[in-house]
Amino acid sequence: MAVMKIIKDTDDILRKKSRPVEQINQRILTLLDDMADTLHKANGCGLAAVQVGILRRVVIVEVEKGKIIELINPEIIASEGQQNEVEGCLSIPDRWGITDRPMKVTVKALDREGKEFKVTGSGLAARAFCHEIDHLDGKLFTDNAIRMLTKEELEEME
């Protein structure tokens, strides 16, 4: 397992649409493991493969320490409610904004064995699912931000 370089928002790859995973092979399994190492090193709660330079529809989310949710070819199939919360991104360091996201989402995806499953998350998990799946379609949280926070507002929140 290895820590990968996180692509920053100045790289055009983050605006590209990721391709579906056709076959779950050793390369995809290694990618999942390396993404987990990278996420832990960066102290984040979610990471999309495109953020490490791989244009595949692969996402990991960890909102509860030690419980990584791996999503291959994820698709949001249901959402409800609304939340306006502070959001940031490992690819856009030191910038935060208020986004409008669903309060609860259900995602359909494949696991590392290729079995389809559904997972429902609310609050931070819902926000993370939406954020990471947006990455797969070339969207950044700044595209959804109601407003970006100033440096002063960030310092005040800390």
Q: Where are the domains of the chain?
A: 12-157
Identify whether 156 is a catalytic site residue.
no
Q: What is the CATH number of domain 12-157?
A: 3.90.45.10
Give the integer Cα–Cα distance in Å for 33 and 119: 20
pLDDT value of residue 156: 83
Residue 157's pLDDT is what? Answer: 76
State residue 20's pLDDT score. 98
Q: Looking at residues 5-14, what average pLDDT do you find?
A: 96
Residue 89 tokens read as: 């991104």
If we measure between CA atoms, which residue out of 40, 114, 101 comes closest to residue 71?
114
Q: What confidence tier does 47 reach under pLDDT thresholds 50, 70, 90? A: very high
Average of pLDDT values for 35-45?
A: 96
- Residue 30's Cα: distance from chain center in Å? 18
State the chain's mean pLDDT as an integer: 96
Q: What pLDDT does 54 receive?
A: 98
User: In the structure, what pLDDT confidence band is assigned to residue 101 with cuts at 50, 70 and 90?
Assistant: very high
pLDDT mean over 110-115? 98
Please pick, among 132, 152, 155, 156, the residue that the annotation labels catalytic. Answer: 132
Residue 43 CA to residue 35 CA, distance in Å, equals 12
